[in-house]
Amino acid sequence: MKKYESSYKKLGHDFYSEVKPEKAEGAKLFAYNEELANEIGLNFDDGIDKELILSGNQTFLHSPISLVYAGHQFGHFNPKLGDGRACVIAESNGYDIQLKGSGRTPYSRRGDGKSPIGPVVREYLLSEAMHALGVPTTRSLAAVRTEEVIMRNTVSFGGVFTRVAKSHLRIGSFQYWAAKGKVEQVKELADYAIERLYPDIKNDKDLYLSLFREVAKKQVALIPKWMSVGFIHGVMNTDNTSISGETIDYGPCAFMDEFDYYKVFSSIDRDGRYAYGSQLNIIMWNLARFADSLLPLINSDTEKAVKTLEEELKYFNDLLVMNHKREFAKKLGVLDENYSDADDELVETFLIYLQDEKLDFTNTFRALGDLLRGSEEKFVQNDRFKKFKSRWLSRVSKKDIEKFTQELNLVNPYLIPRNHLIEEAIIQVNDNKYELFYELGEALKNPFQDNKDFAKFSAPPKENEVVKMTFCGT
């Protein structure tokens, strides 16, 4: 099974530590994504027990590794972080296979390296839901429940999650070496990232500027997609910003029910730094930190390098704003040959209406198809709504209703992973019950499809079901 050894090992021991996962007591593999395993060419032939491997109770022939990185956490720089409870156990067809909750590593600091079952259930369901929603993301390969008792904000049983990613390189990976003034290591990391993730640019004249552009292009496309489905990451630290452009680290993340531009779920985001509406600004801040790390590779003249990257950041900020507008124009069905600034104003009118009336973000956008047919049942009647309805119906009046409704329903989901359902699934899996987990996982595979069997999952939470706060669980 040596074929699954990680290519990170090309970089040398300064970039990672070899580790041995800790034994997981009473491990039970309750979810395994066979389709994803086949997609990445992973198999467990030769008598290898996948439950043992995916719980960390056995390894392939090579040593797993935990990666070192730094990062800005809520704006404050920490020069040494790293995988404190995770290790890459394999690489297959260019994809990392990483265990989370597999025990202490050299980067654990005061933590125990273990995971409660909650974050395992949350990330498994949410990352697969994001994939089905068309949002670039790391994927869920497996989920294991253990009989270990884990103490966090509550007491629960433990779990081990297996994540699949194009890469676990983060902006913080580059910051770690840049902060030490180790330009050669920054270059080595950049060369590895290019070879693995962006081989098409390897012959570019301004190679490292091209790397910055590739990473920035993916991130300014990703965050508008988050926002178009009401997703709030919750911990957009630079160590949680992937070089591959995938959504990574689903700690205290959540999906909005009622639309609120200022919405925060994370218990540790006390000042709202990573609120729903702040995510556009934050990704630009994070990209600026990536630019800082690459400065010596862009130009040996620091002043010229700064000027070059400032121009790049301005360009990508403009692109980010445009991408955000276009994602929401798609949700109203107005991103066509007649798209104009007036359509952006129409989107703004609708979002203000949602905010003022505290309407469900997902269900109200989904109800636009009903509005085409004259049904206003899911809309609160007021002057702003009447103004929006008149302008929107006029704007789309020449479209075929049936075809247009189908188009709207392909961008406005019927289902999202509702927070109260995720919390209930966590409670049940902790109690060794899996029916809701499996049913919810099945429903979320087709989020744009009306399915009466899953109608119960489309309803907003009742007042006593509302989740007001989420936790990292680390």
Q: Is 101 helix (H, G, I), strand (E, B) or coil?
A: coil
| CA–CA dist 252, 276 (Å, integer) | 13
Give Rg (Cα) of the chain: 23
| CA–CA dist 328, 231 (Å, integer) | 14
Distance of CA 74 to the CA centre of its chain: 17
The 8-class DSSP code of residue 341 comes to H
> Which residues lie across from 71 on neighbouring strands?
78
End-to-end CA distance of the chain: 31
Q: Is 105 helix (H, G, I), strand (E, B) or coil?
A: coil
- Fill in the amino acid letter for 33: N
The first and second tokens of residue 251, run together, are 């700690």
| CA–CA dist 356, 276 (Å, integer) | 16
| CA–CA dist 163, 141 (Å, integer) | 6
For residue 2, the tally of other CB atoms under 10 A from its CB is 7
| CA–CA dist 8, 302 (Å, integer) | 30
| CA–CA dist 183, 300 (Å, integer) | 11
| CA–CA dist 127, 90 (Å, integer) | 20
Under a CB-based contact definition with an 8 Å cutoff, are residues 144 and 157 in contact? Answer: no
Write down the residue that tokens 């276009």 correspond to: 326
The first and second tokens of residue 109, run together, are 């600091």
Is 239 catalytic? The answer is yes
- Of 150, 163, 184, nearest to 36 by C-alpha is 163
- C-alpha separations of 367 from 213, 325, 352 in Å: 38, 20, 17
Under a CB-based contact definition with an 8 Å cutoff, are residues 88 and 175 in contact? Answer: no
* Residue from 239, 249, 269, 360 carrying the catalytic annotation: 239
Q: Is 316 helix (H, G, I), strand (E, B) or coil?
A: helix
Under a CB-based contact definition with an 8 Å cutoff, are residues 365 and 393 in contact? Answer: no
**CA 271, 273, 277, 278 torsion-angle sign:** positive
What amino acid positions are annotated as catalytic residues?
239
